Amino acid sequence: MSSDSAKEDCLGWAARDPSGVLSPYKFSRRVVGDDDVSLSITHCGVCYADVAWTRNKLGHSKYPLVPGHEIVGIIREVGSNVKRFKVGDHVGVGTYVNSCRECEYCDDGLEVHCLKGAIFTFDSLDVDGTITKGGYSSYIVVHERYCFRIPENYPSALAAPLLCAGITVYTPMMRHNMNQPGKTLGVVGLGGLGHLAVKFGKAFGLTVTVFSTSISKKGEALALLGADKFVLSSDEQQMMALAKSFDFIINTASGDIPFDPYLSLLKTAGVLVLVGFPSEVKFSPASLLMGMKTISGSITGGTKQTQEMLDFCAAHKIYPDIEVIPIQYANEALERLIKKDVKYRFVIDIEGSLK
């Protein structure tokens, strides 16, 4: 490692152990390579992944751990081979920062599914042997391929949640043709992902129904987000009344729910997409076989589709609902996120508070 890259000139907030408590932390980033860009981070969205990794929920967290993979910033330096960006450009970085760039999925712009494994934005082993550190920090160095142009006049703070929450729901909606005006869409759960699924559904011209176990979500689903209908999913009569009426259902919830009732709501050849992480998925085979229905899974998206989604949001004025916070509030924000006490995404004002 060169002396330049060894300078601990990046200020971040890191967890030191599975308590997940974040505090200030200085570290070094790699020097800017020929194909890299360095960006000063202005905003970073807060995702449930930040909770899971800082608290070692999956058992492989490496400390100190700097979370954050919904990153927006301004380019401050570019490598000699960089053609797509210049100093001063507003760009975003999502859930991964590298891949093999040789396999069939990388060739198709589906780098997140790289055969050798995408290198994630934090807590992942990078090509130089270091552990990646995320966006709760002052700047980041990334290969230009994994950067996205933030459309002109699209507010940086609002762009941040699109880099994970937005692309996580947009990708399966496009894959399963959930952009056909007049079709019916059900959205299970109304958090960071679910509220964007509603917004995309309305922009695509779908009839959108929100399913929730909480009647308190009814007003915000209909009045704030513009959904067409609201269904209390614990009300068996409301659910049965909608049998075989949906073309698509997207489940954004990570809690364990019964799947048979939702499969019964699908029309013949209907699709239920899972983007949350419940601990298990149970359903009767008959629920799938009768009516040749499909259950599909999806995570985030490739570079090509991420840029497409950002441009679509700008063109259709789709904006996440956010609460902007200073970095000093990050620990409280993660606690509130666990309690689902946010409408609908926290975004850290890195530029204004990380000193």
3-state secondary structure 104-162: HHHHCCCHHHCCCCCEECCCCECCCCCECCCCCECEEEEEHHHEEECCCCCCHHHHHHH
Kindly tell me if the per-residue pLDDT of 5 is higher than 60.
no
Q: What angle do CA 344, 340, 229 make, to 5 degrees?
A: 60
Look up the domain containing 226 and give its range: 166-297
Phi (first) and psi of residue 334, to 5 degrees: -65, -40
pLDDT-derived band at 151, boundaries 50, 70, 90: very high
Q: CB neighbours of 34 closer than 8 A, spacing ≥ 6?
A: 79, 80, 81, 82
Say which amino acid occupies 16. Answer: R
Instruction: Give yes or no: residues 247 and 271 share one domain.
Output: yes
Q: CB neighbours of 240 closer than 8 A, spacing ≥ 6?
A: none
Instruction: Give yes or no: residues 124 and 85 share one domain.
Output: yes
CATH number of the domain at 207, please: 3.40.50.720
Higher pLDDT, 8 or 82: 82
Per-residue pLDDT, 314: 98
Instruction: Give yes or no: residues 186 and 39 share one domain.
Output: no
Instruction: Give yes or no: residues 13 and 142 share one domain.
Output: yes
The verdict on residue 2 lying in a domain is no
**SS3 label, residue 74:** strand
pLDDT tens by residue, 306-326: 999 999 999 999 999 999 999
Instruction: Give yes or no: residues 153 and 240 share one domain.
Output: no
CATH number of the domain at 330, please: 3.90.180.10
The verdict on residue 134 lying in a domain is yes
The verdict on residue 252 lying in a domain is yes
For residue 298, give Cα distances in angstroms to 124, 169, 284: 20, 8, 21
pLDDT-derived band at 252, boundaries 50, 70, 90: very high
Termini Cα distance of the chain:
27
Kindly tell me if the per-residue pLDDT of 6 is higher than 80.
no
Mean pLDDT of the chain: 94
Residue for token digits 């703070």? Answer: 157
Instruction: Give yes or no: residues 36 and 148 share one domain.
Output: yes
Q: How far is CA 168 from the centre of its chain?
A: 5
Per-residue burial over 58-91, b if 16 or more Cβ lie within 10 Å, else e, is: eeebeebbbbbbbbbbbbeebbeebeebeeebbb
Q: CB neighbours of 109 closer than 8 A, spacing ≥ 6?
A: 302, 303, 304, 305
pLDDT-derived band at 1, boundaries 50, 70, 90: very low
The verdict on residue 308 lying in a domain is no
pLDDT-derived band at 253, boundaries 50, 70, 90: confident
The verdict on residue 135 lying in a domain is yes
Domain count, the chain: 2
**SS3 label, residue 171:** helix
| Least confident window among 43-57, 272-286, 329-343 | 272-286
Instruction: Give yes or no: residues 108 and 218 share one domain.
Output: no
The verdict on residue 95 lying in a domain is yes
Instruction: Give yes or no: residues 32 and 150 share one domain.
Output: yes
pLDDT-derived band at 225, boundaries 50, 70, 90: very high
Instruction: Give yes or no: residues 156 and 186 share one domain.
Output: no
pLDDT tens by residue, 107-122: 999 999 999 999 999 9
The verdict on residue 316 lying in a domain is no
Kindly tell me if the per-residue pLDDT of 254 is higher than 50.
yes
Kindly tell me if the per-residue pLDDT of 63 is higher than 60.
yes
Instruction: Give yes or no: residues 107 and 154 share one domain.
Output: yes
pLDDT tens by residue, 227-244: 999 999 989 999 999 999
The verdict on residue 3 lying in a domain is no
pLDDT tens by residue, 332-352: 999 999 999 999 999 999 999
Instruction: Give yes or no: residues 152 and 18 share one domain.
Output: yes
For residue 168, give Cα distances in angstroms to 122, 155, 228, 296: 18, 20, 22, 13
Instruction: Give yes or no: residues 27 and 146 share one domain.
Output: yes
**SS3 label, residue 93:** strand
pLDDT-derived band at 54, boundaries 50, 70, 90: very high
pLDDT-derived band at 128, boundaries 50, 70, 90: confident
